[in-house]
Amino acid sequence: MPLTDIDAARREKMFPRLSPAQMERLAPLGRRLRMERGQIVFEQGAVLPDFFVVLSGTLEIVQLADGKEVPITVHEAGQFTGEANMLTGRRSLVRARMLEPGELLVISSEALRKIVHSDVVVSDVLMRAFILRRLALIAEARGDSILIGSSHSAATLRLREFLTRNGQPHTYFDVDKDPEVQGLLDRFGVRVEDVPVVICRYQKVLKSPSNEEVAECLGMVENLDPAKVHDLIVVGAGPAGLAAAVYGASEGLDVLVLESDSPGGQAAFSSKIENYLGFPTGVSGIDLAGRASSQALKFGAEIAVARTAIRLRCQSPLATVELAGGGSVVGRSLVIATGVQYRKLPLANLSRFEGVGVYYGATPMEAQLCEGDDVLIVGGGNSAGQAAVFLGERARKVRILVRGPGLKETMSRYLIQRIEESRNIKVDARHTVVALEGDGRLERVQIRDEAAGRTEAHAARHLFLMTGASPHTEWLKGCVALDEKGFVKTGPDLGRYDLQGWPLARAPYLLETNIPAVFAVGDVRAGSVKRVASAVGEGSICIQLVHRALAE
């Protein structure tokens, strides 16, 4: 449905009219600008320094797609420009031009952020309109970029996930399915072997690009000022980092969040989180991340995506974080929220089945999904053993696949004993998973029996990968104290040896590392509970400790 055809009730929320009282509150914050018929107010692709409210006349919003103008809407007196890009600082996806001459109220993006933060009523109207407009652009695929790829290519999937999870509308063409593709490829002089290809802003062709290259081209990357000293830098925008950003920014701190991929972290890979407080019917990870990011932006936090921290300079009192691709940022305090990376099997289509048959944790939620079904578990460590015993109570049969000769070397004796005593758990040594199959969800797993040298198809709707998780802490090595598995040690977990260079009279706070004012929260922290709720909890409570450290 074109944006111009949406129903009246939704249109009213997407393109609301500010009341005279609201207009009066905005008037002193901007300047009046007289515009003539046909004058361009801003161009598609521009990074917008200003927000515009129509005082008189009409302002038409159009989108240039492949050289043609597509109408989006016409703003009348009391209506305003902008969508989520007003808060993220991303390039405009539309062009604005005066249809009838009139006057505009021009408000700087900085003043706009203050209004959104301080005027609850106006903030509600603007935030709702901005989010609904971006959602409509996404739903209509009304971006200014095209992705040409193949559903059989992992790089295509990576780019689709990156654009989707970052809320960047785009049009996708599949070389294997779409008849229009050949024409597009010819028009932009691209060979089919070059896919995935991103045609960025209908101009630049990027062949098999990295996420960073796409982000740069689409203007998703913030220009970070290396001289600015932020109150707080949060590294990682998973549930823990986003919670720290929301609480930090809402309590007046100047917060910069660095995220190497897209907001949401591992949670964004969960199609339905059912154990998070307040969502009785569950919430998708992407939805939760989208809401949390908007909330952080509303309170004034800056979220820089496609920005990877590669090193923490080991110095105090200021924390300097070096970034991939050059440059650095400085903060008076730092929250490490870089989470973990579950070890993944090298299977081309693995991510297609994550959350729809492939799981990394065995909680009561997953156990419920497996009720009465057969379950496959990959791994020979204690986590695999615990999962097998736990899932064995609900599943029909549990089969543990181990690459090595057995469990003796890798699993605790008590778990092996319980597995041996169980009627429905079987261990297959020297067995590996070589392929996953299914339409929409996992249906079959190809398993290789290394000893027999044969591969068999096993009907399976549930595959648990319990091959361990490694924390994203490479960038902290040599500076922040880590445990033997590489997780960040904090508070009471820090030993005398870890605190040899500790310069203060007080002991480290609960979530504080061996470096003053540097905190660690969520999955990356040694001993943390690997759950969304606990990550959010730690991200929020650490802000109180950040305040204390900043006051010292």
Ligand X SMILES: Cc1cc2nc3c(=O)[nH]c(=O)nc-3n(C[C@H](O)[C@H](O)[C@H](O)COP(=O)(O)OP(=O)(O)OC[C@H]3O[C@@H](n4cnc5c(N)ncnc54)[C@H](O)[C@@H]3O)c2cc1C
Smallest distance from ligand X to CB 518, Å: 14
Q: Which residue from 61, 159, 531, 537 is in contact with ligand X, where contact means CB under 6 A?
A: 531
Q: State in angstroms the smallest separation of the CB of 425 from ligand X.
A: 23
**Where in 363-392 is the site for ligand X (CB under 6 A)?**
365
Q: Which CB, 249 or 309, lies closer to ligand X?
A: 309
Nearer to ligand X, 22 or 270 (CB): 270
β-bridge mates for residue 237, sequence order = none
Q: Considering beta carbons, is residue 126 or 532 the nearer one to ligand X?
A: 532
Least gap, CB of 305 to ligand X (angstroms): 9
CB of 42 to ligand X, least distance (A): 31
Supply 305's token pair.
């995506």
Give whichever of 3 and 233 is closer to ligand X, judged by the CB atom. Answer: 233
| Binding test (CB under 6 A) with ligand X, winner from 44, 338, 383, 513 | 338
Helix/strand number for the chain, H first, E second: 15, 30
| Residue 510 DSSP label | T
Tell me how crowded residue 394 is: count the other CB atoms within 10 A of its CB: 17
Q: Which stretch binds ligand X (CB under 6 A): 7-15, 191-199, 252-260, 496-504?
A: 252-260
- Provide the minimum distance between the beta carbon of 521 and ligand X in the complex, in angstroms, as a whole number: 7
Segment near ligand X (CB under 6 A); pick from 12-20, 453-461, 498-506, 529-537: 529-537
Minimum Å gap between C-beta 248 and ligand X is: 14
**Cis status of the peptide bond prior to 196, with omega within 30 of 0:** yes
**Which H or E run contains 34?**
strand 31-35
Helices assigned H by DSSP within 371-436 = 382-392, 413-421
Least Cα distance to 272 among 344, 341, 351, 356 occurs for: 356
- Give the nearer residue to ligand X in terms of CB position, either 93 or 273: 273
Binding residue for ligand X (CB under 6 A) from 75, 142, 170, 472?
A: 472
Q: What's at 119, amino acid-wise? A: D
- Describe the crossing of helices 154-165 and 285-298 by its angle, rounded to 10 degrees: 40
Applying CB under 6 A, which part among 170-178, 196-204, 359-367, 447-455 lies near ligand X?
359-367
Q: Which is nearer to ligand X, 230 or 431 (CB)?
A: 230
- Inter-residue contact 550 to 231 (CB < 8 Å): yes
Distance, in Å, from the CA atom of 234 to the CA atom of 393, rounded to the nearest integer, reads 41
Q: Which of 64, 56, 76 is nearest to 16 (CA)?
A: 76
475 binds ligand X (CB under 6 A): yes
User: Are 49 and 108 spatial neighbours (Cβ–Cβ below 8 Å)?
Assistant: yes
Would you say 54 or 235 has its CB closer to ligand X? 235
CA atoms of 392 and 374, how far apart (whole Å): 9
Cβ pair 521, 337 in contact under 8 A = yes
The sign of the dihedral angle between the CA atoms of 26, 32, 34, 39 is negative
211 binding ligand X? (CB under 6 A) = no
Of positions 173, 299, 342, 464, contacts ligand X by CB under 6 A: 342
Structure tokens of 509?
A: 């706070």
Footprint of ligand X on 275-314 (CB under 6 A)? 275, 308-309
Q: For the window 81-120, what string marks contact with ligand X as x by the rule CB under 6 A?
A: ----------------------------------------
Q: Mention every residue, 6+ apart, whose C-beta is less than 8 A from residue 183.
A: none
| Pair type for strands 302-304 and 95-100 | unpaired
Options 235, 330, 395, 433; binder of ligand X; rule CB under 6 A: 235
Residue of 163, 199, 312, 340 interacting with ligand X (CB under 6 A):
340
In the range 255-274, which residues lie near ligand X by CB under 6 A? 258-261, 265-267, 269-270, 273
Binding-site member from 89, 241, 379, 508 for ligand X (CB under 6 A): 241
Cα 377 to chain centroid distance, Å, stands at 28
Which member of 401, 480, 532, 549 binds ligand X (CB under 6 A)? 532
Q: Are strands 334-336 and 232-235 parallel, antiparallel or unpaired?
A: parallel
- Of 136 and 321, CB closest to ligand X: 321
Min CB(308)–ligand X separation in Å:
4
Residue of the chain from 239, 248, 331, 508 that contacts ligand X (CB under 6 A): 239
Stretch 308-327 residues interacting with ligand X (CB under 6 A): 308-309
Angle value at C-alpha 293, between 287 and 296, nearest 5 degrees: 145
E-strand ranges in 365-443 read 374-378, 397-402, 425-429, 431-437
Name the token pair of 360.
């990394």
CB of 259 to ligand X, least distance (A): 5
CB–CB of 84/294 below 8 Å? yes
Q: Please give the DSSP secondary-structure letter assigned to residue 236.
A: -
| Of 355, 468, 486, 491, the one binding ligand X by CB under 6 A | 355
Q: Is 48 in the site for ligand X (CB under 6 A)?
A: no
Give SS3 for 387. Answer: helix
Tokens representing 18 are 């500010």
Would you say 55 or 154 has its CB closer to ligand X? 154
User: Could you give the C-alpha distances from 341 to 53, 285, 336, 519, in angstroms and in order?
Assistant: 45, 16, 15, 20
State the residues that interact with ligand X by CB under 6 A: 235-241, 258-261, 265-267, 269-270, 273, 275, 308-309, 337-340, 342, 354-355, 360-361, 365, 472, 475, 522-524, 530-533, 535
